[in-house]
Amino acid sequence: MLAVTSIYAGLIALIFIILSLRVIRYRRGNRISLGDAGDISLLKRMRAHANCAEYAPIGLLLLALVELSTAPVLAVHILGAMLLIGRALHAWGFSASPPVMGARVLGTVLTLSMILLSALGLVFHGLF
């Protein structure tokens, strides 16, 4: 069983749900059914949600593969925390008004670093 990955998958899914609900509530409150209707606030919410949908799956897939490759539990937790914190910081920094660029950048760096470290670890583990 993927005990460690399950924790981070569940927590990241909660972030995804929160981001989804922010879009839904805004759409309902402003009666915007399709697209963004040129509404910058809605567009920011949509992009924060979409960005999570774009990066979280590859991060979680890699995390699961790292865990399955019998990496040390601490390493799996560190990678999972990087992904979780990265996604949370990016979502908050991106969707805040005004945007908090430091949080957005740090979130991106954490997320991409987690993906890179996981990918390199898996390649080296597979080769050696």
Lookup: tokens for 90: 């990016």
- Ordered alpha helix ranges (H), 1-128: 3-30, 40-68, 73-95, 101-127
pLDDT, residue 91, reads: 96
Nearest to 86 by CA among 120, 55, 53: 55
CB-CB neighbours of 20 under 10 Å: 14
Place of tokens 């560190």: 78
- What pLDDT score does 82 carry? 98
pLDDT for 95 equals: 87
Distance CA 52, CA 109 (A): 14
**Topology at the third CATH level for domain 3-127:** Four Helix Bundle (Hemerythrin (Met), subunit A) (1.20.120)
Burial class (CB in 10 A: 0-12, 13-18, 19+), 2: middle
- The pLDDT value recorded for residue 14 is 98
> Which pLDDT value is given to residue 97?
85
pTM over 0.75: yes
Mean pLDDT by 10 residues, the chain (128 residues): 97 98 97 94 95 98 98 98 98 92 98 98 96
User: Residue 34 in 3-state DSSP?
Assistant: coil
